[in-house]
A and B are shown apart, each in its own frame.
Chain A
Amino acid sequence: MVAVVVLALYPIIWMIVSSLRPDGSIFSNPSPAPTTFHWQNYQYGWNALGTPFGRYLLNSAIIVLGAIVGNVITCSMAAYAFARLRFRFQKPAFGFMLLTIMLPIHVMIVPQYILWAKADLVNTFWPLIVPKFLATDAFFTFLMVQFIRGLPKELDEAARIDGAGHGRIFLQILMPLMAPALATTAIFTFIWTWNDFFVQMIYLTDPDKYTAPIALRSFIDAQSHSSYGAMFAMSVVSVIPLLIAFAVGQKYLVRGIATTGLK
């Protein structure tokens, strides 16, 4: 078991330690213990791309924040409808929503790109944020449908007898109870959006608009034969937000994976 822990963590730790070593001694030194603290790697990497790396982190953060707000609001609304309302075409609508979970993005990305290009919004964050406000991340809708189904219906009934409409039942009764599911949604949206590469690479080609992963990619292209230390340094910087999110939201993360099989 300990051996597996070592295998699982060693590459990560070695990456962090190597980001603090001078270029010449990185690959010859497999030790996971920090031997030097060569902070210049961070200084150099931070400014190696014309725009300071902080800009890319900020761009990523803006998109992540927008995605979280969008998913939390619109997926929970859709989930309320599927879980608590009775309406026409409910079955086919729900089936379609489930189907879109497995639908590869590739079958939509080309026309979506044309759409955003026609609207002259390529190289803005809109193509990455707006879809989240339209509940297109069906996995979260599904997650919250499951969650709402588990909440006692008597609560709704009682509120209804008191004269509450669907808006109030949703906002004042269910929303507070849904906090764990909303937290799971928020943290997975964080991780997936922060790690997203394919879609961000397609829409963001202007260096000022790069997110952290896209910037990192252009970093390796530009510096492929030098400054490995700086490369590691910026790699570490780009995953620190993930580690923080993991530390803060671990409980919800584990619960979310366990209940729905999210990645």
Chain B
Amino acid sequence: MSLLKLQKLALTPKGGQTRSNTRDNKAALVFLGPWLLGSVVLVIGPMAASLYLSFTNYNLLQSPKWVGAGNFARMLTDTRLHHSLEVTFLYVLIGVPLQLGAALGLALLLDRGLRGLTFYRSAFYLPSLLGASVAIAVLWRLIFGGTGLFNTILGLIGIESTTSWIGNPDTALSTIILLHVWTFGSPMVIFLAGLRQIPVEFYEAAQIDGATTFQQFRGITIPLLTPIIFFNLVLAIINSFQAFTQAFIVSAGSGGPSDSTLFYTLYLYQEGFGAFRMGYASAMAWLLVLIVGACTAINFWASKFWVHYED
């Protein structure tokens, strides 16, 4: 199910080609017209421009001033940048496995022929539907504040607490990771779809051979699900590196307390659209592309060792 595989799949022509290439070229130009225009004006052009800007100082008012590798040199000594990288990597390294683990665990439970599958699926998907909204981020901020709901509930079970969980640098990031884990519904739906595609015959054959449930799980379910796990992992990592809204709202745009929720994109926003250091923000954006690209490449490389493709 990797993108490359899908690309190969989608490009393999089926059946004979009855039309000449010139005819298709013209039609393709029409059908791809909007996409081509968008790719040039809104993707390739801006990417080239932001690469250029990353070597300049630019505040939107004066024209860009070439500073060579100045922005990248500043990155080396910018402790807030280092900190934002640390926060973001923590978020990805902790949040992604927890969220996918929860999603996989619940998908496995739901797949065991539980009654009311549709209800559970909808109920679990609701947090994913709303999780990216400002409304839920606001809710989180109020739940984990000093006088918030979380402390009230702790009080009910006998733990007196007036800590503001979002106001404490040691716990603020955890609350945002928790919010991420809470949105396990969408990867769960993907896992469920994957589980549904495993042929029942495999399990029947295994049972005839006397395999235990655990052996079936290890020998059939997990190997056949690895492409889906991989797919979810790649997507979750790419998306998590770009997390923004929740940290922005929970910390009121500051990334605080003490920069403990200063996500990379939040810092990028502060630099670019707060301080109008567009050159530095562009350099940061390219570093983000490199990081996301490298992580995806490592993921694809590592997949050779654990992802099982049937063909």
A117 to chain B, nearest CB (A): 7
Q: Give every chain A residue within 8 A of B41 (Cβ-Cβ).
A: 115, 134
Q: Once the chains bind, are A104 and B289 in contact (CB under 8 Å)?
A: yes
Q: Once the chains bind, are A88 and B31 in contact (CB under 8 Å)?
A: no
**Once the chains are docked, how many angstroms separate the CA of A97 from the CA of B39?**
9
Q: Once the chains bind, are A12 and B190 in contact (CB under 8 Å)?
A: no
Binds A, one of B89-97, B198-206, B218-226, B244-252: B244-252
A163 to chain B, nearest CB (A): 13
**Once the chains are docked, how many angstroms separate the CA of A85 from the CA of B141?**
51
Q: Once the chains bind, are A107 and B289 in contact (CB under 8 Å)?
A: yes
**Once the chains are docked, how many angstroms separate the CA of A98 from the CA of B43?**
13
Size of B's binding interface in residues, CB under 8 A: 103
A197 contacts the other chain (CB 8 A): yes
B138 contacts the other chain (CB 8 A): yes
Q: Give every chain A residue within 8 A of B232 (Cβ-Cβ).
A: 261
Binds A, one of B73-81, B166-174, B277-285: B277-285
**Once the chains are docked, how many angstroms separate the CA of A111 from the CA of B48?**
9
Q: Once the chains bind, are B147 and A27 in contact (CB under 8 Å)?
A: yes
Q: Once the chains bind, are B18 and A160 in contact (CB under 8 Å)?
A: yes
**Once the chains are docked, how many angstroms separate the CA of A28 from the CA of B212?**
50
**Once the chains are docked, how many angstroms separate the CA of A231 from the CA of B148?**
14
Interface 1/0 per residue, B16-34 and A, CB below 8 Å: 0111010011011111111
Q: Give every chain A residue within 8 A of B281 (Cβ-Cβ).
A: 106, 110
Q: Once the chains bind, are A108 and B43 in contact (CB under 8 Å)?
A: yes
Q: Once the chains bind, are B245 and A261 in contact (CB under 8 Å)?
A: no
Q: Give every chain B residue within 8 A of A238 (Cβ-Cβ).
A: 133-135
Q: Once the chains bind, are B121 and A202 in contact (CB under 8 Å)?
A: no
Binds B, one of A33-41, A46-54, A75-83, A178-186: A75-83
Q: Once the chains bind, are B138 and A111 in contact (CB under 8 Å)?
A: no
A234 to chain B, nearest CB (A): 8
Q: Once the chains bind, are B42 and A134 in contact (CB under 8 Å)?
A: yes
9 contacts between A and B (CB under 8 A): A1-B114, A9-B123, A78-B31, A94-B7, A107-B50, A136-B39, A202-B273, A254-B125, A258-B193
Q: Which residues of B contact A (CB under 8 A)?
A: 3, 6-7, 9-11, 13-15, 17-19, 21, 24-25, 27-35, 37-39, 41-43, 45-47, 49-50, 53, 60, 106, 109-110, 114, 120-130, 132-136, 138-139, 141-143, 147-149, 152-153, 156, 182, 185-186, 189-190, 192-193, 231-232, 235, 238-239, 241-242, 244-245, 248-249, 252, 265, 268-269, 272-273, 278, 281-282, 284-286, 288-289, 292-293, 296
